[in-house]
Amino acid sequence: MQKADGCSSCADKKNGGCDGDKCPEKLRVNDDSRISNVFAVMSGKGGVGKSSVTSLLASALRRKGYKVGVLDADITGPSVPKMFGVKGTAKSTGYSILPPETSNGIKIMSLNLLTPVEDDPVIWRGPIIAGAVKQFWTDVAWGDLDYLFVDLPPGTGDVPLTVMQSLPLNGIIVVTSPQELAAMIVSKAVKMARIMETPILGLIENMSGVVCPHCGEEFPLFGSGQGRETAEKFDIPFLGSFPLDPGLSKLCDQGRIEDYQSTLFDSFLPEALIRPV
């Protein structure tokens, strides 16, 4: 296993007390997985639509013909299976877990696919939650994937730290909303990625407003957006704004998020996401 990127930020190394042996190591992927690119979707604050953005990115790339998977790392609040309409329990080969596929062939893994009742609470401490995320990498047979998206829980706690240290991330996409409070908190996620030396591919501002179904005009429900200013402040690409859409909410409730198409996600993806693999 290779040494983790970003060990130069370790306090022990900076203080001259580490020879490199204590640095975190990247986990070895399951023997039946061949994954070309791994991207995490992150926010500093909950409720900004991070899981929706993850699912829309995955769906857009799948429509382009790529082999795509989604690892739902939000262990205590998983929502990915619901949005894709995937139910039931994941199968096992005896050695590996087989990720279920959506109607369009996106492979997904979530704790909701391993529990008998999807609305049962997960009352686990941080280390156990982080261990479950690691197992989604080491114990799930993802097969051949061009892109794997990791839907992170909000904040800068155990799971984002585990993913940045243990998975070979190509980079992260940061999601925020127009409120100044959300922009302030998302800066924590950006700073964490910088400390961990994880590339930031760009920032998406979700819920930028709502489009009137009658006149087509967009109204800024939460005030003028802070996304572009936040991206400029940290010198990262601003990938665009995405308004609230009742049509998207309806499709998510129906488990049909793959049917939703958006110019932002189909045309304004970071170049790193659409390069040939």
User: Counting Cβ atoms within 10 Å, is residue 69 exposed (0-12), middle (13-18) or buried (19+)?
Assistant: buried
The answer, yes or no, to whether residue 5 has pLDDT greater than 60, is: no
Which of 47-61, 84-98, 116-130, 135-149 has the least mean pLDDT? 116-130
CA distance 250 to 252: 5
d(CA 198, CA 192): 9
- pLDDT tens per residue across span 200-242: 999 999 988 887 777 777 777 766 667 888 899 889 999 998 8
For residue 264, the SS3 value is helix
* Residue for token pair 């930028």: 208
Query: CB neighbours (10 Å) of residue 79?
Result: 18
* Cβ 62 vs Cβ 147: under 8 Å: no
Average pLDDT, the chain: 86
For residue 271, how many other CB atoms are within 10 A of its CB? 9
Report pLDDT digits (tens) over 117-130. Answer: 878 888 899 999 99
Topology classification of domain 38-209+219-274: Rossmann fold (3.40.50)
Report H helices in 100-224.
Answer: 126-138, 158-166, 180-195
The token duo for 15 is 């203080």
Provide the β-strand partners of residue 98.
91
